Chain A
Amino acid sequence: MNAKKVMGLAVTSVMAASLVAGCGTSNNKADNNTQGGTTGGKKMTIAMVTDVGGIHDNSFNQSANEGLDRASKDLGIEKKVAESKRAEDYTPNLNSFVKGGNTDLTWGIGFLMADDIKKVALANPNSKLAIIDSDLSGDIPKNVEAVTFNENEGSFLMGVLAAKMSKTHKVGFVGGVKFALIEKFEYGFKAGVKAVDPTAQVTAVYADAFDKPDKGKLLASQLYQQGDDIIFHAAGATGDGVFAEAKERGAGYWVIGVDRDQYDLAPKNTLSSMVKRVDNAVYDVAKDLQAGKFEGGTVRTFSLKDGGVDYAPTTKNNTPQDVITLMDDYKKKIIDGSIKVPATADEFNNFK
């Protein structure tokens, strides 16, 4: 067969195949329309723009996506997603949903999008937007709902757990990048340790990356080497390396996961995970929106009180009941306000 024929064949096969696929997709669409629940005849559309992590980041983007999936299943909303490849894509991604006019709410996932959300919201006052993990420095446009989490509270419980379980009285923290958001995890954790065991030593290190498991593994190895026996990570995919290192070292080397229940990454080495229910937040906002409620211009904070942050249910697998009871005691104290958990270095230095 000669080159010309090959090319011709390739072109025709693509065209023929795309005809078939064309039928396939249009059928799918018809199915979706009949299945999807509708409210008042018009289906609500909620869009989300991820930050550069994308929807498979094992972290808040993924969690937000799961929340929207649940909303589209239970509430019958239509979901649209745009994954940003780099920071410059945030604004065009947000704009294309907002300016398209068919979107009832557009989410920006992650504080890195704060400036973009604010600008887009001000330029399009009739649209509705929402952001995860940022209070927009307190200056929130009327058409934006800001959602934040008290990660420091959940991390405090992890500190209590670590201080109680450590045999060496040395524990470690691996952060992704030294952002104020990640410092909330660090100082919440440190405060928890301090509350239970003031003499225990906490070493906090940062990988300067959320996407480098190899670096997480190296840092974990250094921490374990210097005698730390429990490591809490808040480092996205970098934290996968912490789990890998603990697994390799075997019994006695513990990890505390973050964002979602990470027990499955190393069942024999995972003490607990500080879960952050971005999915619940996204779902709740969708539900409210469907009920005609939208709290524009305000910050909605999810905390221990409403289960927005908490320890994972699998904690009981490797943690004795008395330690869990102690965690629950502290949890009550945080909820009733008798302990105020620090979120920054300054607050931590003044803590007790």
Chain B
Amino acid sequence: MISSMQTSRWNAILIPVLAVILGLIVGGLLMLLMGYNPIVGYSSVFQGIFGNMYFMGETLRAVTPLIFAGLAVAFAFRTGLFNIGVEGQFIIGQLAAAWVGAFWTLPTGLHAAVAILVAMIASGLYGGFAGWLKARLGVHEVITTIMLNYVALFAANWTIRTYLIGASERSKDILPSASLQAQWLSDLFEGARINWGLLLALIFALVCYWLLMKTTTGYELRAVGFNPHAAEYAGMNVSKNIFLSMLISGALAGIGGATDVLGVNGNMAISAGFTGIGFDGIAVALIGNNNPFGVIFGALLFGGLSFGADNMQRVEGIPTESIQIVISMVIYFVAAASVVNWLLGKFRRRQGVSQK
């Protein structure tokens, strides 16, 4: 007999995996309805991810910011906060890194570190502001963070246009000393823009896990998430923890933005719309069950499918919308974990019966 503790841990892994399989099946059916062959479609997605070193490197490049965004969402969620503002905090991080990277002069390496640090602080404060509004004035974080996304987008556009402008509607290129790219790494992946950001993402996933699970601060943050009233009764400062959680969440998003500028583009473009990374982060956190390691898995899955799907259109002419549907179905099945749970329960019970 499996203990219920073990079952729930096992389910945490099994449910996303099952959701992926169910998502792929439903997506395949939809491709059929649209008149495309799902086997051809999925194999070109597979080629688009693992086909050659270049695609693998670019997939990892696409996954990197998603890990940060996923961590940011998951971290706030553990304190019971729904940080929809990761998008805006990501943009603030990009902006801060673009500024420090292009306009400060520092030695190689240190420059990149300082740029990331400044991005962390800026985005942390930006996220923390929403946390403060919630803690002090009781304004719901969903409302404030959504609005702050727009503030970040338009403020960033204005700042680039007014102060940071370089060639063709983007900020001045960062100095080589601030770059997170490594020539040998890029050469290894046939010129893909994979960079040190990936390593940072993995390190910060570990840091998040440690912070949440192994420290008193993390314990308090989670306690507030489980039940703020009980946490307060136990003598914890709920307001402080809400602020702190949003601060850290924002900082994580900011590093993501910084690595995007310092590692991939080398500048920040004036943008007509959101990057979408912050919003994808919500899905990544959901797939990852708000666990830092789960987030890595979620980002690999989400980023991989999303990036590989482009190959489907390039090679077979299948619209990428179909893979968006697959991803949506995966998210749907994860969100509707109870459905999967119920299916699993039925399955297990039947097995139990037949064993007797």
A residues near B, CB below 8 A?
A: 2-4, 7, 10-11, 13-14, 17-18, 21-22, 24-25, 47, 52, 80-89, 91-93, 95-97, 99, 111-112, 114-115, 123, 134, 137, 176-180, 208-211
Contacts and interface: CB of A to CB of B under 8 A. Distances in A.
B41 to A, nearest CB: 9
Given A85-B320, A180-B169, A18 B270 contact: no
Contacts of A95: 54, 191
Interface in B26-46: 28-29, 32, 35-40
B350 A2 contact: yes
A129 to B, nearest CB: 15
A18 B37 contact: yes
A210 B272 contact: yes
Interface in B268-283: 269-273, 275-277
B29 A17 contact: yes
Contacts of A13: 29
Which secondary structure dominates chain A's binding surface? helix
Interface in B1-51: 25, 28-29, 32, 35-40, 48
Interface of B: 25, 28-29, 32, 35-40, 48, 54-55, 58, 61-62, 154, 157, 161, 167-170, 191-193, 260, 264-265, 269-273, 275-277, 306-307, 310-311, 313-314, 317, 320, 343, 346-347, 350
Contact of A80 (B275, B314, B343): B314
A178 B161 contact: yes
A87 B265 contact: yes
A10 B30 CA distance: 13
A21 B37 contact: yes
Contacts, number: 116
Given A14-B38, A25-B36, A86-B276, A92 B307 contact: yes
Given A21-B37, A22-B39, A177-B270, A114 B168 contact: yes
Nearest to A55: B319
A91 B317 contact: no
B37 A208 contact: no
Contacts of A87: 265, 269, 271
B223 to A, nearest CB: 37
27 contacts: A3-B347, A4-B350, A14-B25, A14-B28, A14-B38, A17-B32, A18-B28, A18-B37, A21-B37, A25-B40, A52-B272, A81-B317, A85-B306, A88-B61, A88-B260, A91-B193, A92-B55, A96-B48, A112-B169, A115-B170, A134-B168, A137-B167, A137-B168, A177-B157, A178-B161, A179-B169, A179-B270
Contacts of A84: 310
Contacts of B40: 22, 25
A47 B310 CA distance: 14
A12 to B, nearest CB: 11
B265 A88 contact: yes
Contacts of A115: 168, 170
A92 B58 contact: yes
B242 to A, nearest CB: 32
A257 B194 CA distance: 42
A86 B275 CA distance: 7
B349 to A, nearest CB: 10
Contacts of A123: 191
A87 B311 CA distance: 16
B274 to A, nearest CB: 9
B313 A82 contact: yes
Nearest to B40: A25
A24 B191 contact: no
B15 to A, nearest CB: 15
A21 B36 contact: yes
Contacts of A88: 61-62, 260, 264-265
Given A3-B343, A88-B265, A208-B157, A21 B311 contact: no
Contacts of A97: 314
Given A96-B310, A123-B191, A208-B272, 19 more contacts: A7-B343, A10-B25, A14-B25, A14-B38, A17-B32, A21-B38, A25-B37, A81-B314, A82-B314, A83-B310, A83-B320, A84-B310, A85-B320, A87-B269, A92-B307, A97-B314, A178-B161, A209-B272, A210-B273
Nearest to B320: A83
A80 B44 CA distance: 15
A318 B273 CA distance: 35
Nearest to B34: A21
B195 to A, nearest CB: 12
A208 B310 contact: no
Given A3-B346, A52-B273, A97-B314, A18 B35 contact: no
Nearest to A47: B314
Contact of A211 (B157, B191, B273, B277): B273
Nearest to B157: A208
Contacts of A134: 168
A18 B39 contact: yes
Most-contacted residue by chain B among A18, A24, A84, A137 (CB, 10 A): A18
A208 B347 CA distance: 53
Contacts of A7: 343
A124 B305 CA distance: 27
Nearest to A54: B320
A88 B62 CA distance: 8
Given A99-B54, A137-B167, A93 B310 contact: yes
Contacts of B273: 52, 209-211
Nearest to A209: B272
